[in-house]
């Protein structure tokens, strides 16, 4: 599996965690679940930022992807950016 693909999958997992956190927090589904999901998302987002920064340093990703990742959109921004890059790669390969 390539670094690009691994970070892309990790970003999708982080979006799922973030979505679960939002549903739990908005729905008032439990403080413990909210706390666990919050910490998981927090550390996961930091790791995602480091992975994307490393990919930018290695010239795997463009630097604007790091900006999208550290923005308030967080994993949503990185996932959108990674999907855009993946589709652009596929279009250039054809």
User: Any idea where the domains of the chain sit in the sequence?
Assistant: 3-93
C-alpha 34/C-alpha 27 separation (Å) is 10
Residues 6 or more apart in contact with residue 85 via CB below 8 angstroms: 4, 61, 62, 65
Q: Does residue 18 surpass a pLDDT of 90? A: yes
pTM passes above 0.75? yes
Convert the pLDDT of each residue in 40-89 to its tens digit. 999 999 999 999 999 999 999 999 999 999 998 888 999 999 999 999 98
Residues 6 or more apart in contact with residue 7 via CB below 8 angstroms: 48, 51, 52, 55, 61, 82
């Amino acid at each position: 599996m390539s670094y690009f693909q691994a970070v892309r999958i990790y970003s999708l997992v982080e979006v799922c965690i973030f979505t679960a956190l939002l549903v739990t927090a908005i729905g008032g589904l439990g403080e413990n679940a909210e706390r666990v999901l919050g910490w998981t998302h927090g550390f996961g987002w930091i790791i995602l930022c480091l992975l994307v920064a490393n990919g930018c340093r290695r010239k795997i990703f463009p630097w604007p992807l790091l900006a999208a990742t550290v923005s308030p959109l967080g994993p949503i921004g990185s996932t959108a950016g990674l999907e855009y890059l993946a589709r652009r790669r596929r279009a250039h390969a054809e």
